[in-house]
C-alpha cells in the first residue's frame, strides 16, 4: 500500500514537473483565437474601428476590450459571426447596416489629385495626376478609406444597387405566436 501511494505520488510529481516546464517553454505566443478573428475581419486596414489595422482590432476582440460591433464595413453579418465565435450574446438591432457599399467618384468635381489612389487598400481606384479618377467596383470593399482624403468631396459611398441575380426573397413576416390565441 505504501509502495502504491508512493509510486503514484512520485509519478504525479514527475509528470507535473514535465507539464510545468512544457507550459513555460512551449507556450503559444499568440492567442489562437486572435488569428482566427483576424481571418474573419475584412483585412482592408481601413481604421474605421479606431485601431491601426485589422490585426490590432482582432487582438482587442480576443482580449475582450473591444465590442464585436466595431467593424462598420463588416456590418451586422460580421458582428453576428464574431459574437458566435467569441460565444457572447449581442443585441444586433442597434448595429447600423447600410448593406454592401462601393465608392463612387463624382467626375465633375474630381481634380485628379491622386490622394485617394494612395489611400485605397485594394488598389480599386484608377487614375493619374490631373486625370479624372474612377473606382473599379469589383475591387472596392466599401471601407471608406478614400472618403476623407478627397479634398473636393468627390468621393462618396453608395449602396450597391440590387440586381435580379442578387435579389433575395424576403423572410415571411409571422404574426407573433399567441396573437391568434388571444383573439380566440
Q: What's the DSSP call for residue 176?
A: P
Measured in degrees and rounded to the nearest 5, phi and psi for residue 129 equal -55, 130
**Cβ of 120: how many Cβ atoms within 10 Å?**
23
Residues between 5 and 64 that touch other proteins (CB under 8 A): 42-45
CA angle at 113 for the pair 107 and 119, rounded to the nearest 5°: 100
Nearer to other proteins, 91 or 108 (CB): 91
Among positions 56, 121, 147, 156, the unique one binding other proteins when judged by CB under 8 A: 121
Among positions 4, 5, 169, 182, the unique one binding other proteins when judged by CB under 8 A: 169
Q: How many residues belong to the site for other proteins (CB under 8 A)? A: 27
Tell me the three state secondary structure of residue 154: coil
* Short-list 113, 103, 109, 110, CA closest to 147: 103
77 lies in the binding site for other proteins (CB under 8 A): yes
Nearer to other proteins, 12 or 118 (CB): 118
Euclidean distance between CA atoms 94 and 78, whole angstroms: 14
124 lies in the binding site for other proteins (CB under 8 A): yes
Q: How far is the CB of 103 from other proteins (least distance, A)?
A: 13
The footprint of other proteins (CB under 8 A) covers 42-45, 77, 100, 121-124, 138-139, 141, 162-164, 166-172, 174-175, 177, 180
Amino acid at each position: 500500500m505504501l509502495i502504491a501511494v508512493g509510486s503514484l505520488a512520485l509519478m504525479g510529481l514527475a509528470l507535473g514537473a514535465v507539464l510545468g516546464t512544457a507550459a513555460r517553454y512551449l507556450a503559444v505566443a499568440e492567442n489562437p483565437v486572435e488569428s482566427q478573428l483576424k481571418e474573419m475581419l475584412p483585412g482592408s486596414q481601413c481604421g474605421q474601428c479606431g485601431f491601426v489595422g485589422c490585426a490590432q482590432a482582432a487582438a482587442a476582440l480576443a482580449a475582450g476590450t473591444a465590442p464585436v460591433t466595431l467593424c462598420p464595413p463588416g456590418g451586422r453579418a460580421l458582428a453576428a459571426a464574431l459574437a458566435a465565435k467569441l460565444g457572447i450574446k449581442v443585441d444586433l438591432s442597434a448595429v447600423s447596416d447600410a448593406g454592401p457599399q462601393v465608392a463612387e467618384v463624382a467626375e465633375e468635381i474630381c481634380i485628379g489629385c491622386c490622394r485617394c489612389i494612395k489611400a485605397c487598400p485594394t488598389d480599386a481606384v484608377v487614375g493619374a495626376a490631373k486625370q479624372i479618377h474612377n473606382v473599379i467596383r469589383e475591387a472596392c470593399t466599401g471601407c471608406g478609406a478614400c472618403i476623407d482624403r478627397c479634398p473636393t468631396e468627390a468621393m462618396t459611398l453608395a449602396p450597391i444597387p440590387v440586381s435580379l441575380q442578387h435579389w433575395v426573397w424576403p423572410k415571411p413576416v409571422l404574426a407573433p405566436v399567441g396573437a391568434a390565441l388571444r383573439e380566440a
